[in-house]
Chains A and B, each alone.
Chain A
């Protein structure tokens, strides 16, 4: 019996080592929470200042021309992205430091490359949708679809839970591409609410 326990312990230890050494585990749940909060702020700015409605067709606002509106929303998104990334890096670096790990190593690199490939593709595709075809209504669902795919792809190299967040984003993106006109609403749910919920779940699961 003792012999068996010893072997079982060895196996568990091996699995743990293989897991820890090949996955990026410094990702903090608070990164998700921060990203979610900024996304909600961004959605509110789009709603309040640009007059984008949460619930129906694109309503034309007299304050901006269409081109100005596009640029305003793009700037809004970029500012949110920068803030979310900044806080994300901060919380992740803090977690790595606490655990005595390096923030940047092979696992970080592998995770980021696998995240960025679908994400950059989606980003370029959205720019084409906006500036070449003026299909603004598709931008929100398309960002969610590509972001979800990026998360599913990256989940192989970090916490497995990220996969479920990815699947949720994809489902939301599909719903959004069917009900065009609710872009801001699904965007706020996908990038705001889902990030906060998953971030908190991850935080309580791994960091307390």
Chain B
């Protein structure tokens, strides 16, 4: 009886969440899996076509490959770059200087701005004729490119922009850095360790859990990139910023191919899941937890 009551209490506490999860996450998830085996325009009856959506994707659809390539390129460059920049900034922001609070706020500020507003802001920064970036470059005697208009530069521009928004990562790193016991630095400096040696042998290992977290979130975020492509470039010029998520959206709501779009989403899900799993699998060899004993 007592055990029953307690179980009931437990379930009723998480009940609301479970209902929400079933209705708004699990339900749609299963529905999209089922619909990925159908041809469905949203307006007429779904027609079962088996694996055809998946087969066509790999066999017939050059845009599937193109958008995959764009998204992978973006992820492969922007994620490590974002990690390095935010770690370096976090280290700078961890110095004990006057007015550091202001700098911390300033560097975090970009992450507070929502996607669309940031996208519009950057369109102006990158404007070729009177954008601020090309204006600064002109002082150095450099004629800046047509950032978003040149197919060779557009993706680079968006990667640049992604680094600007790495404030969230900075905060995590900053917290990680502040968790490192001062003791370790003191002891090592008695042993004659240089600053660089301390960074390599203490800071980096101690901060690996934060790197791990930021890496996972970065990979997931990069593969879901949508707003920049949708607002700033509309996938162009010449499909050079045609992100996978944008392609899913266009297939669903422009071409009314819901089944195909659902199939595309599941491929994205598998890609993200596999990559996340890979990072997790390798993590035991490079992530260190203080509370953990390595045998």
| Chains A and B come from one and the same complex | no
B residues in contact (CB < 8 Å) with A: none
